Amino acid sequence: MGFVSKYVALEGGDGSGKSTVAEALRAHLVEKGESVVVVREPGGTPLGEVVRGLLLDSEHLDDWAEVFLFAAQRAELAREVVSPALSAGSWVISDRSYYSSIAYQGRARGLGESRIREINEIGLAGVQPDHVFVLDVDPAAALARQDDPDRIGSEGVEFQASVRDAYLELGESDDKVIVLDASADVSTLVGQIMEHVG
Ligand code: TYD
């Protein structure tokens, strides 16, 4: 298996349990003797953590400013963390990726998938996940589980439903995207992910 197939992104609506699955997948791979780097978006570099604050804690942000801030932190993360880790033979598990921008900004904000792909692909320069797993949940149930939603997580159930539709459509149209039922237990989800990546 070449290094390019070790970059795994976890996606899903707010409250879909990505972080729990990321940790379980990390533990599973480490157990098998693999080296693993886990990153989250937005975040993962000093700039990324500052941008995360701007993105999630601001009261209001222009939609395109939001797109470019997500893309800016992602470009730096790709170059400074993801690419070196993959070159060193590590797995990279990413809690979100530019597929979040496609679903949230492209679809739910209505800015268009192709423009979001284009903007992000410039900054990523080819450092893109090989496998994208969408943890599919009922948006209303997922929202009910969130006790302190951030600015984007507070957009409401219709917004989350639109995010979900985007992910389901990506599951049909994009070969990298696999949709999993997030109500399965974590070890089942890890097993399903390993079947696809292995
Ligand atoms: P995250 O910290 O993963 O939150 P959660 O645990 O609630 O899923 O993501 C923060 C928020 O940012 C979340 O509402 C999704 C949103 N987001 C975008 O809108 N576009 C993006 O490109 C990314 C990476 C996240």
The confidence score (pLDDT) of residue 2 equals 42
**pLDDT by residue (tens digit) across 66-116?**
999 999 999 999 999 999 999 999 999 999 999 999 999 999 999 999 999
pLDDT of 4 above 70 = no
Strands (E), the chain: 7-12, 36-40, 91-95, 131-136, 177-181
Which residue among 152, 163, 167 is best mutated to probe the pocket of ligand 1, counting the most ligand atoms within 8 A of its Cβ?
152
Which residue among 100, 121, 137, 170 is best mutated to probe the pocket of ligand 1, counting the most ligand atoms within 8 A of its Cβ?
100
User: Side by side, which strands form the sheet with 7-12?
Assistant: 36-40, 91-95, 7-12, 131-136, 177-181
What mean pLDDT comes out for the span 129-147? 92
The confidence score (pLDDT) of residue 3 equals 42
CB within 8 Å of 193: residues ≥ 6 apart: 8, 21, 25, 131, 133, 180
Q: Whose CA is nearest to atom 12 of ligand 1?
A: 152
Measured torsion, CA atoms of residues 57, 62, 68, 71, in degrees rounded to the nearest 10: 50
**pLDDT by residue (tens digit) across 153-192?**
899 999 999 999 999 999 999 999 999 999 999 999 999 9
The confidence score (pLDDT) of residue 5 equals 85
| Amino acid letter for position 123 | G
**pLDDT by residue (tens digit) across 7-64?**
999 999 988 999 999 999 999 999 999 999 999 999 999 999 999 999 999 999 999 9
The confidence score (pLDDT) of residue 182 equals 95
